[in-house]
Amino acid sequence: MTVVEITEQTLAFIAEHRNEDVRDLALHARHDASVDLPFALEQISGWQRARVKLPDWAGCEGVIYPPQVPMEQCSSQFTAQYKARVASRLMASSDSPTSLVDMTGGFGVDFSYMARVFDTATYVERQPDLCDIARHNLPLLGLPHAGIINGDSTEAVRGLDRVSMIFADPARRDDHGSRTYAIADCTPDVLALKDLLLGKASVVMIKLSPMLDWHKTVADFSGSVHEVHIVSTGNECKELLLVLGRDRCDAPRVVCVNDDQVLEFVPDASRGNDSAMIAAESANRASDGRIVADDAGWQYLYEPNASIMKAGCFDIVERRFNVRQIGPNSHLFVSGQSIGGFPGRSFAIETVTTMNKHDLNRAMKGLTHANITVRNFPMPVAGLRRKLRLKDGGDTYLFATTDTEGHHIIIRTIKQQ
């Protein structure tokens, strides 16, 4: 069914039942020949997903949603708006009209937000059904001027005049529908097309899988990467976003984003292995390896957000926030004072204990529930929970890890607001 063939009865059914359980509707909906039930169920499911993932779109009457896979693969509102902010900054110094080409349009979420910051914008998509949906949706979303090309993205780019920016979100599924992560296995292969893309646009933005090693990915692009954005929301890493330019760049700017938490840095190769140096410094600061619960340097604990963890920039975190790592592989930090603006979660330390039975009993006295995290610790969460005889939940947070002296410790904390 194309968008123009949707009957009024089908639209009415969607509006009436869009808050109901789709599976229940599929089993019990009254048969009506004038209602395209499979399409209606698809739209209800899409709207219910959009209500959480794309609230702006869900609030726009008349938007048509695609089948499940494009809906799953599309960006969230937060990540799409973030790309638009990056694009706006990149185009801010332009004295001439700006133009965008999204060579992998898909459902059009990224395009719909980025297109607003350009004078002209073109959506390219090889699937005709998605192009039909885009032609229907984009005017409703305030983009009646958007150009739409149904065709092969590489051929479309070859036929372009020069544009300000090209955006690409390569499909990360193979011909059998299985997920792929390597750049060369995605469609299109943006690594192989790098020179073509930079020949057509002064700026190229590429969305890639968060599973990729960003260091290796930057190296693969051989000096073309100017910015690396590691984008998370809800403390879940969603995408690796690269900004490519024509000039060679050996030290790209790295931006770690988790909702409103942002940490930016430029890697300094001259410092060498900062994490190893800091671990050694921390070990030298330790006295005789004993745990001192009221140590002035162990009053607060900090757990970095998902983007920081992905970036691995623990040396930057130590220097910038004046905290120190508990151990070289703990990726947990402590300080003697409360620090505002830390890019992650903050906790007040109540006590620190070894795994000695007597120490454990004293540290866990009166505790029945706890949220448990293990980092570089020889026991999984479930095993530790059984050992401590604690139920999940409550206001107490336990962090089990290994310190610089190799001691297995548990840190009992309360989350800070």
Any idea what DSSP says for residue 9? H
Check: CB of residue 153 under 8 Å from CB of residue 124: yes
pTM: predicted TM-score of the whole model, two decimal places: 0.89
| Crossing angle for the helix pair 314-321 and 274-285, to the nearest 10 degrees | 50
Distance CA 281, CA 297 (A): 14
Q: What is the dihedral angle through the alpha carbons of 351, 356, 362, 363, rounded to the nearest 10 degrees?
A: 30
Residue 196 buriedness (CB in 10 A; 0-12 / 13-18 / 19+) = middle
Torsion sign across C-alpha atoms 84, 70, 262, 194: negative
Q: What's the pLDDT at 275?
A: 43
Residue 55, classed as helix, strand or coil, is helix
Peptide bond into 66 cis (omega under 30): no
pLDDT tens-digit series, residues 192-235:
999 999 999 999 999 999 999 999 999 999 999 999 999 999 99
CB 327 within 8 A of CB 401: yes
Q: Which CA distances in Å does 330 have to 157, 258, 275, 277?
A: 46, 20, 11, 15
Q: Label residue 284 by pLDDT band (50, 70, 90).
A: very low
Domain ranges in the chain are: 3-53, 76-267, 271-415
Q: Among 62-76, 190-204, 331-345, 353-367, whose mean pLDDT is lowest?
A: 62-76
Say whether pLDDT at 279 is over 50. no
Average pLDDT over residues 256-273: 81
As a whole number, the mean pLDDT across the chain is 90
* pLDDT for position 3: 58
- DSSP 8-state secondary structure symbol assigned to residue 223: T
- The pLDDT tens digits for 164-202 are 999 999 987 555 555 656 888 888 999 999 999 999 999
The pair of structure tokens assigned to 339 is 């620090």
Give the dihedral sign, CA 61/62/68/73: negative
356 SS3 class: coil
Q: How confident is the model at residue 287 (pLDDT cuts 50, 70, 90)?
A: very low
Q: How many CB atoms lie within 10 A of CB 260?
A: 6
Q: How much is the pLDDT for 269?
A: 54
- In the numeric block, which tokens belong to residue 389? 């005889």
Residues 329, 333, 336: CA angle, nearest 5 degrees: 150
3-class DSSP assignment, residue 228: strand
Confidence of residue 273 (pLDDT cuts 50, 70, 90): very low
* CA dist., res. 234 & res. 37, Å (int): 34
* pLDDT tens column, 101-141: 999 999 999 999 999 999 999 999 999 999 999 999 999 99
Taking only the tens place, the pLDDT of each residue in 35-94 is 999 999 999 999 999 999 999 999 999 999 998 878 888 899 999 999 999 999 999 998
Q: Which amino acid is located at 171 in the chain?
A: A
User: CA-to-CA distance for 348 and 334, rounded, in angstroms?
Assistant: 10
pLDDT of residue 73: 82
Torsions phi, psi for 95 (to 5 deg): -95, -10
Q: Which two tokens stand for residue 207?
A: 């969305």
β-pair partners for 411: 352, 399
State both tokens at 90: 């990149």
Q: What is the DSSP letter of 187?
A: B
pLDDT at 173: 59
The percent of residues in the chain predicted with pLDDT above 70, rounded, is 90
DSSP symbols for 66-124: --HHHHHHSPPHHHHHHHHHHHHHHHTT--S--EEEETT-TTSHHHHHHGGGSSEEEEE
pLDDT band, very low/low/confident/very high, at 397 (cuts 50, 70, 90)? very high
Is the distance from CB of 165 to CB of 115 less than 8 angstroms? no
Please tell me the predicted confidence (pLDDT) of residue 31.
79
Q: Are 233 and 76 in contact (CB under 8 A)?
A: yes
CATH of domain 76-267: 3.40.50.150
